[in-house]
Amino acid sequence: RPDLTASRFIADPFAPGERMYRTGDVARWLDNGAVEYLGRSDDQLKIRGQRIELGEIDRVMQALPDVEQAVTHACVINQAAATGGD
């Protein structure tokens, strides 16, 4: 989809003529020069290396018999595993 591709690639303010990719990750520079990760700008999450939209889970759940409404909420259960630690 050319429209989606165009919206995800923006001009690189640090390298004229180059492009940057909008990943959907949100971060900020700290006074000490470090970058703090704040989360995502969309409802995507990664489960075992696969990206998925929370709405996709809702739609599958709502397609089940006897399910009228579904809401998916994500939380980190194993912080070490989520950050690549032991």
Q: Which pLDDT does position 28 carry in this prediction? A: 94
Q: Which pLDDT does position 81 carry in this prediction? A: 63
What is the SS3 assignment for the chain? Answer: CHHHHHHHEEECCCCCCCEEECCCEEEEECCCCCEEEEEECCCEEEECCEEEEHHHHHHHHHCCCCCCCCCCCCCCCCHHHHCCCC
Do 30 and 56 fall into the same domain? no
| Vertex 49 angle, CA 2 and 73, to 5° | 90
**pLDDT tens sequence across 5-28:** 888 899 999 999 999 998 888 999
Do 59 and 30 fall into the same domain? no
What's the total number of domains in the chain? 2
Provide the domain limits for residue 17.
1-42
CB–CB of 86/80 below 8 Å? yes
Do 57 and 77 fall into the same domain? yes
Do 38 and 48 fall into the same domain? no
Do 47 and 86 fall into the same domain? yes
Q: Would the pTM count as exceeding 0.85? A: no
Do 38 and 52 fall into the same domain? no
Do 26 and 53 fall into the same domain? no
Cα(53)–Cα(75) distance, rounded to whole angstroms? Answer: 14
